[in-house]
Amino acid sequence: MPEWLIPFVASFIVLNVVIGIVTYVTLLERKFAARMQSRVGPYRVGPHGLLQPIADAVKLMMKEDVVPTAADRPVYNLAPVVFLLPCMLIFATIPFAPGLGVADLNIGVLFFLAVSSMEIVGLFMAGWGSNNKYALLSAMRAVNQVISYDLPFIFSALVPVLLAGSLRLSEIAGAQQGLWFVFYPVIGQLAFVAFIVSTVAAENRAPFDILEAESELVAGFRVEYSGMKFALIQLGEYAHILGASFLGALLFLGAWAGPGPDWMGPIWFLVKAMLVFLLVTWVRWSFVRIRVDQILALSWKALLPATLLLLVLTSIVVVWRTNGGA
Partner 1 sequence: MIGEPIVFWVLTVVLVGSALAVVLSKNLFHAVLWLALALTGTAGVFLLLEAEFLAAVQLLLYAGGVVTIVVFAIVVTERLVGERITQTNRRITGAALVAFTVLALIVSTVVRQPLASARPAVEGDLTRAIGEGVLTRYVLPFELLALLMVAALLGAIYFARPDE
Q: Which is nearer to partner 1, 51 or 318 (CB)?
A: 318
HEC assignment per residue over the chain: CCHHHHHHHHHHHHHHHHHHHHHHHHHHHHHHHHHHCCCCCCCCCCHHHCCHHHHHHHHHHHCCCCCCCCCCHHHHHHHHHHHHHHHHHHHHCCCCECCECCCCCCCHHHHHHHHHHCHHHHHHHHHHHCCCHHHHHHHHHHHHHHHHHHHHHHHHHHHHHHHHCCCCHHHHHHCCCCCCHHHCCCHHHHHHHHHHHHHHHHCCCCCCCCCCCHHHHCCHHHCCCCHHHHHHHHHHHHHHHHHHHHHHHHHHCCCCCCCCCHHHHHHHHHHHHHHHHHHHHHHHHHCCCCCHHHHHHHHHHHHHHHHHHHHHHHHHHHHHHHCCCC
Shortest Å distance, C-beta 23 to partner 1: 28
Cβ neighbours around 320 below 10 Å, total: 11
Give the interface with partner 1 as residue ranges (CB under 8 A).
4, 72, 75, 105-107, 110-111, 113-115, 117-118, 120-121, 124-125, 128, 136, 139-140, 143-144, 146-147, 150, 167
State which residue, 15 or 114, has the beta carbon closest to partner 1: 114
Residue 113 or 218: which CB sits closer to partner 1?
113
Measured from the CB atom, the residue of 148 and 281 that comes closer to partner 1 is 148
| Nearer Cβ to partner 1 (59/133) | 133
- Shortest gap between Cβ of 144 and partner 1 (angstroms)? 8
- Write down the least CB distance from residue 140 to partner 1, Å: 6
Give the shortest CB-261-to-partner 1 separation in angstroms. Answer: 32
* Count of other CB atoms within 10 angstroms of residue 216: 13
Minimum separation from the CB atom of position 55 to partner 1 (A)? 36
- Residue type present at position 178: G
Nearest to 246 by CA among 27, 87, 73: 87
Question: Smallest distance from the beta carbon of 170 to partner 1, in angstroms?
Answer: 14
Closer residue to partner 1 (CB): 182 or 202: 202
Nearer to partner 1, 128 or 192 (CB): 128
Taking the least distance from each CB to partner 1, the nearer of 7 and 46 is 7
Residue 259: CB minimum distance to partner 1, A = 33
Q: How far is the CB of 116 from partner 1 (least distance, A)?
A: 9
